[in-house]
Structure 1
Amino acid sequence: MDSASLLQSSILQLTIANNKIATYIHFTFISLITICLCFFLYFLVVVLSIFFTSPPLRENARYVLFVYMLVNDTFFLLSGFTLMLGAIFFLYMPVPVCYILSTVSSMAFRVTPTTLAAMALEKYIAICHPLRHKELCTPQRANVAFTLICTALIIPNVADLGLMTSSYTNIFNISVICRMENLYVNPFQNVLRSLGLALCFVLVAIIILFTYIKITMVAHRVSSQSSSASKARKTILLHGFQLLLCTMSLLSTFSIALSASQAIFLPGFNFFLFSCVPRFLSPVIYGIRDEHLRKLIKKSLTRPLKN
């Protein structure tokens, strides 16, 4: 009896210690993500205020696409943060609410790399076809391009909803822990999602690789454009790095195979490293490296101090 009691006490102490460690890990990731998200939202407000008060920016397709991407990333980060909290604290949500959050998150997840591809093409046209840049890259065309991107990427979600509703008639009467796998009631849902993601990322990777090669060829061939082409080439490389991080986030699905003791930190870790970091790179790429936008941001931030 003494040995059994001692063993039971040891197990209880170990469980309490593991729970404390899990709590500390969760709190650390939640705090870190919250701080970064606040900075991102602040940057979004600054950029939007500059964009809507600066006509030259509104007339540049590059900045139009950038603003669209920032707004899309905001939807993704907010919906993803909510889903992460639900996964960490095992919160039950009605299936319709969970599905809306998951749909917004998954669609926004795919819109970002696709918009990166559109921005890479804009850079390609500016460097390789400068005489046609003003004709092809207009704000109106940027608006149409982003609308077409969203329309094309929502089709898999509509098909997924059709499969889901046809397979589960009591969908609106249950609550689940809001994870993607808990919404799979038809095996074709997972196949459809995997094919959609694979097609999206392969096409984006091909476009980024194509634009990088073409811009590099121009940089080596035309010395008068070498400076702008070199900068554009570095931007395309950063786009590729963003795409790589987004692609690596697909590896988070393998965390399901880990035991509970090994996976306590994975929801926060995966969301921060593979979802937040690629989005936080956007302000660095265009808010700091872009000379014109950097001057406007600096002027906007220092203006209150002068008053």
Structure 2
Amino acid sequence: MANSTALHSNITQVSVDSNKNIESLRMAYLILLVLCFCIFLYFLTIILSVYFTTAHIRENTRYVLFVYMLINDTLYLVLGFFLVVFNIYVINLPVPLCIVLVILSLTSFMATPYYLAVMSLERYVAICYPLRHAQLCTPQRSHAAIAIIWAVGFSPCVADFIALSSSVETKYFSLSGICGRPMLIKTPMQNNMRYITIIFSFTMVGLIIVYTYIRIMLIARKLSSNKSSAFKAGKTVILHAFQLLLCMSAFTSHFTETYLKDYFAFFPITNFLLLMCLPRFLSPFIYGIRDEVLRKYIIKWHSFAITLG
């Protein structure tokens, strides 16, 4: 009897220690995520300061699209972070609030590849039609393109909400639960619409990026002057393709969480950090620090911030 009690006590202690280790690792992941997010916000603040205080940058279509893509990614990261924390610590939210958060999160998630496509098209016009670039790519048209991006990203969410509303009773919207897309999926049609939208969107964006890259490289081979600008534009489009691939890796999270969550207790937060956040954390470095004009201002603002500190 004493041996049985001791064995039970040991098992209980191991279970407690295991839970403590899991909680410690989960907290370490959250701290790492917050640190990465702080670094991202630091560079975002500098880039926004440069953008809103420098007239010729604010009038450049390339920088308009880049800055609004960063703002879009920041919105997605903030919403995604809170949703992950709510899921980890089992915090229930009212269904209406959850719907708003999920729609904003999904819309900003889908908007990122659209920004990459429009930015690739801007580089395509700049190299292939340089005489018409100033006419075609204006700040006003950039803002119109941004509005279209959000409208296109928002449309599937509207269709999804209509499908949800038609399949549940009114009292469903007065309930609370763990907020996430699974909570809002009530019919197979919703999943089908989501997969069709994602596949179509990323295929079209991929084709646009490939087309613009091929056209830019063909022009670069023909140019006798300004060849370096064309090759630099080609490299930028390749970076768009690289970031698109990183964004597409997010779709593997559903399968990895389904089949590996029993072996890895904090798999959701790992997926969120590596597959959702990483492509967006890289944006200020890929497009901001790499750009000669922005890099000069970023260094200047960074030095100014250190002086103030």
TM-score by length of 2: 0.94
Do the aligned residues in 2 keep the contact of 1:215 with 1:233 (CA within 8 Å)? yes
**Counterpart of 1:52?**
52
8 Å CA contact 1:69, 1:115 repeated in 2: yes
Query: Is residue 90–residue 177 contact of structure 1 (8 Å, CA) maintained in 2?
Result: yes
Pairing 1:1-307 to 2, within 5 Å after superposition: 1=1, 4-5=4-5, 8-169=8-169, 170-258=171-259, 260-303=261-304
8 Å CA contact retained: 1:87, 1:267: no
- Distance 1:258-1:152 versus aligned 2 partners, 3 A rule: same
- CA distance in 1 between counterparts of 2:294 and 2:51 reads 9
The answer to which of 54-63 and 176-185 deviates more is 176-185
The residue identity in structure 2 corresponding to 1:156 is P
Report deviation, 1:10: 4.5
Q: Quickly say closer, same or farther: Cα 1:259–1:90, change in 2 above 3 A.
A: farther
RMSD: 1.8
CA change 1:3–1:254 in 2 (3 A) is farther
> Matched residues in 2 for 1:72 and 1:254: separation?
26
Letter in 2 for 1:32: L
**Could you report, residue by residue, the CA deviation over 1:225-264 in whole angstroms, capped at 9, with x for unpaired residues?**
3211221111111111111111011110013423654231
Q: Deviations over 1:108-146 (max 9, x none)?
A: 011011101100110111111111111111111111111
CA distance in 1, matches of 2:306, 2:8: 63
Q: Secondary structure of the equivalent of 1:224?
A: coil
For the residues of structure 2 that align with 1:247 and 1:2, how far apart are their CA atoms? 57
| Structure 2 unmatched runs, 5+ | none
TM-aligned CA distance change 1:24 to 1:183, over 3 Å: same
Structure 1 distance, partners of 2:260, 2:291, is 45
Q: Which amino acid aligns with 1:225?
A: N
The amino acid of 2:303's aligned partner reads T
Does the 8 Å CA contact 2:247/2:275 hold for their aligned counterparts? yes
Query: Is the 1:255–1:263 Cα contact (8 Å) retained in structure 2?
Result: no
The CA deviation string for residues 153-198 of structure 1, in whole angstroms up to 9 with x for no partner, is 1111111111111211222221111121121112211111111111
Q: Cα gap change, 1:89/1:213 in structure 2, threshold over 3 Å: closer, same or farther?
A: same
Moved more, 102-111 or 209-218: 209-218
Name the aligned partner's letter for residue 290 of structure 2: R
Alpha-carbon distance in 2 for matches of 1:208, 1:51: 26
TM-score normalised according to structure 1 size: 0.94
| 224 and 117 in structure 1: CA distance in 2 versus 1, 3 angstrom threshold | same
Moved more, 112-121 or 49-58: 49-58
Contact 2:75 2:108 in 1 (8 A): yes
8 Å Cα contact 1:249-1:274 kept in structure 2: yes
Q: Distance in 2 between matches of 1:127 and 1:17?
A: 61
CA contact (8 A) 2:127 2:219 kept: yes
Give the direction of change, closer, same or farther, for the CA distance of 1:16–1:127 in structure 2 (3 Å limit).
Answer: same
Give the Cα–Cα distance (whole angstroms) in 1 for the partners of residues 273 and 210 of structure 2.
26
Q: Deviation of residue 7 (structure 1)?
A: 5.0
Contact map agreement 1:156 1:192 (CA 8 A) in 2: yes
Aligned length: 307
Q: Does 141-150 or 38-47 show the bigger shift?
A: 38-47
SS of the residue corresponding to residue 176 of structure 1 reads strand
Deviation, 1:212, is 1.2
Cα deviation, 1:63-104, whole Å, max 9, x if unaligned, reads 110111011011100000001111211221111111111111
